[in-house]
Chains A and B, each alone.
Chain A
Amino acid sequence: MRQTIRKRYILPLIAGLLLLFPLRFCPDAAAAADKTITLICRQDETVLTGMEWSLYRIGVRHDTAIEFVPELSGYSMDLGDLSSKTVDTAAKTIESYVTAVSLAPLANGQTDTSGELTFGGLSNGLYLASGKTLEVGNTVYYPSALLLEINDADASLDYDAYPKFYQSTLSVEAKEYTVKKVWIDDDDAHSARPADLTVDLYQDGVLKETVTLNEGNDWEYTWSALNDGSEWTVAEREIPEPYAVMIDSNSSQFLIRNTYQETTTTGSETETTTTTETTTEPPATEPPSTTTKPSLVQTGQLWWPVIPLALGGVILVGAGISMRAGKKKNEK
């Protein structure tokens, strides 16, 4: 009888729970694609109307790790801690590889007359917003890529983002660009470096040149191009193991930084740690001997005794006066 009851009630109950499970415990499934990102493109008093942007869904974040979409997952990227200081460089790095793999954008659009562009219908995930240069008169505005995250923690469904811009004046003169490769590894890891590396140079997203960097050219290459508002990006074609790449840039320099990832295997777990910057090229200002002192230099005047001394003095004077008054009273 008990077995019959089990079969009759427990099995449907389990089936019911299984049906409910995805709804209750899978936030991704439950998360509605109803969030928006609004890019606001204004520079001082200039409204950047008609700036073209593409939005890419590049993956999802799990705590500190990022699970990239398959097109990008083959590239070992060093994105730092994604703090406010490193997120711009992380966005530049990802943008380089989005260009290199020709990732299809989720959406495209142009800023309106108020310099705003809204991408709607977004679900949780990591997004990269990549803009194209815009000419306003004789000035070219270069937008920086933006790395944006939408997750369940967002209180609002709308997210405003303010891209950064730098500007340059159009000229007929050629401009020089340089790409430099640096290695961030310990001296004993030099053997892990390849003899040379292939770097692709893209102009407005189109592959223009492929160069080889090695010891012979000091891991550096310089090229000239018209300063016509084109946007250049670079990408290291194959990232040598066990390095991770970070790409930073300004208006004429591209820095490709490969950081050695130490891999230690313990049982079934594999840990990856990033080496500190002990490269061939250290910023070499050693702190003066003062820094080896056990404490920081004393830069204060002796103020603290003033209040105890003054307070103590007032109390004692008061006590003395009251003692005298008491004595006179007793004498009378």
Chain B
Amino acid sequence: MRSKSWLFVCLLGVLMILAAGLLCVRNFRESEDAAAYSDQVLDALKQEIPDEPAVTEPKQTGEDLFAPYETEPDSSDEAEDIVVGEDAYCGFISMPSLNLELPVMSSLSYPNLKKSPCRYSGSAQTNDLIIAAHNYTSHFGKIRRLTAEDPIIFTDTRGRQFRYAVSFIEVIEGQDVDQMFSGQAEEWDLTLFTCTLGGKSRVTIRADRITDETEA
């Protein structure tokens, strides 16, 4: 038995290498499946979403200062979800610097996250939208490469485009929900986040809305 101990050790080593390889294959496949699904949904979604409405410009230059203080928000202003397959989507997000375009599901759940990025909280209308996605390379795995001023565009189901520029990137501990929401609609207007490779923290992209006033 002792004479075969080297064989046992070698086999155990090979098994461990195989397990690592299988895990990689599984992750890559999951990422590819998510990419394929997202592309499919994005095509369907774009067909449903009209071009950017011609009359979306507010009367004044820049953001509507009164909107956050309206007692009865105009519900007709909220875009309705579009259902593709069995899932509801609130729009899609584009990151030109990463050559990335992805649909965004209206509600978050773990099964949904395997298909596409999900709305975690808020909305583009109220400048507090938070979108979460898996760190698949095809989803938010590359968002850490974004740099300040990189453009991000969220298009809602009415075709309205909300344009943002990356303001800063931070890494938030997985338990720190308060930090994720801190500065909501004041220090940032859009947040994207995904897990770090270790999974303990979240790479968090904060972006500011670009209005006509800021563009001028």
A254 and chain B: residue at smallest CB distance: B65
Q: Is B17 an interface residue (CB 8 A)?
A: yes
Interchain CB contact under 8 A, A298 and B199: yes
- Residues of chain B contacted by A295 (CB below 8 angstroms): 174-175, 177
Interchain CB contact under 8 A, B121 and A288: yes
> What range describes how many residues of A lie at the interface?
35 or more
A178 and chain B: residue at smallest CB distance: B66
Interchain CB contact under 8 A, A301 and B62: no
Interchain CB contact under 8 A, A285 and B128: yes
Interface residues of B in 18-56 (CB under 8 A from A): 18-21, 23-24, 27, 30-31
A176 to B23, CA, bound (A): 63
CB of A302, distance to nearest CB on chain B (Å): 7
Binary contact readout B52-71 vs A (1 if CB under 8 angstroms, 0 otherwise): 00000001111111101111
* Binding stretch for chain A, among B82-90, B93-101, B147-155, B188-196: B188-196
Interface of B is mostly: mixed
Interchain CB contact under 8 A, B20 and A306: yes
Interchain CB contact under 8 A, B65 and A248: yes
Q: Is B73 an interface residue (CB 8 A)?
A: yes
Interchain CB contact under 8 A, A298 and B216: no
CB of B114, distance to nearest CB on chain A (Å): 10
Q: Which one of B18, B61, B135, B213 contacts A301 once the chains associate, using CB atoms below 8 Å?
A: B135
* Binding stretch for chain B, among A25-33, A118-126, A149-157, A160-168: A160-168
A303 to B172, CA, bound (A): 19
Binary contact readout B139-151 vs A (1 if CB under 8 angstroms, 0 otherwise): 0100000000000
- Residues of chain B contacted by A327 (CB below 8 angstroms): 3, 6
Interchain CB contact under 8 A, A320 and B69: no
Interface of A is mostly: mixed
A250 to B107, CA, bound (A): 34
Interchain CB contact under 8 A, B66 and A176: no
Q: Is A305 an interface residue (CB 8 A)?
A: yes
A317 to B10, CA, bound (A): 4
Q: Is A49 an interface residue (CB 8 A)?
A: no
Interchain CB contact under 8 A, B196 and A293: no
Interchain CB contact under 8 A, B135 and A300: yes
Q: Which one of B5, B11, B60, B121 contacts A323 once the chains associate, using CB atoms below 8 Å?
A: B5
A168 to B213, CA, bound (A): 10
Interchain CB contact under 8 A, B126 and A283: yes
Interface residues of A in 170-192 (CB under 8 A from B): 176, 178, 180, 182
Tell me whether A252 and B17 are in contact in the complex, defined as CB-CB below 8 angstroms, given that A287-B121, A290-B108, A299-B202 are known contacts: no
A290 to B144, CA, bound (A): 23
B199 and chain A: residue at smallest CB distance: A300
Tell me whether A291 and B17 are in contact in the complex, defined as CB-CB below 8 angstroms, given that A252-B59, A303-B197 are known contacts: no
Q: Count B interface residues, CB 8 Å.
A: 73
Interface residues of A in 277-332 (CB under 8 A from B): 279-281, 283-285, 287-288, 290-291, 293-307, 309-310, 312-321, 323-324, 327
Q: Which one of B16, B65, B71 contacts A313 once the chains associate, using CB atoms below 8 Å?
A: B16
- Residues of chain A contacted by B11 (CB below 8 angstroms): 320
CB of A311, distance to nearest CB on chain B (Å): 9
- Residues of chain A contacted by B123 (CB below 8 angstroms): 285
Interchain CB contact under 8 A, B5 and A310: no
Q: Which one of A291, A307, A314, A320 contacts B6 once the chains associate, using CB atoms below 8 Å?
A: A320
B214 and chain A: residue at smallest CB distance: A164
Tell me whether A85 and B187 are in contact in the complex, defined as CB-CB below 8 angstroms, given that A287-B121, A300-B197 are known contacts: yes
A210 to B147, CA, bound (A): 48
Binding site for B on A (CB under 8 A): 43, 85, 165-168, 176, 178, 180, 182, 248-255, 279-281, 283-285, 287-288, 290-291, 293-307, 309-310, 312-321, 323-324, 327
Q: Give 19 A-B pairs besides A285-B121, A317-B17 with Cβ atoms closer than 8 angstroms.
A: A166-B216, A250-B60, A250-B213, A252-B59, A281-B71, A285-B126, A287-B181, A288-B121, A290-B121, A295-B177, A299-B135, A300-B196, A301-B30, A304-B198, A305-B20, A313-B14, A313-B20, A317-B9, A321-B6
Would you list 17 pairs from A and B whose C-beta atoms are within 8 A, ordered by A residue? A85-B187, A182-B69, A250-B63, A255-B66, A290-B121, A294-B177, A297-B132, A298-B199, A299-B202, A301-B134, A310-B21, A313-B12, A313-B13, A313-B17, A319-B13, A320-B9, A324-B10
Shortest 5 CB-CB distances between A and B: which pairs?
Answer: A300-B195, A316-B13, A320-B10, A313-B16, A313-B17
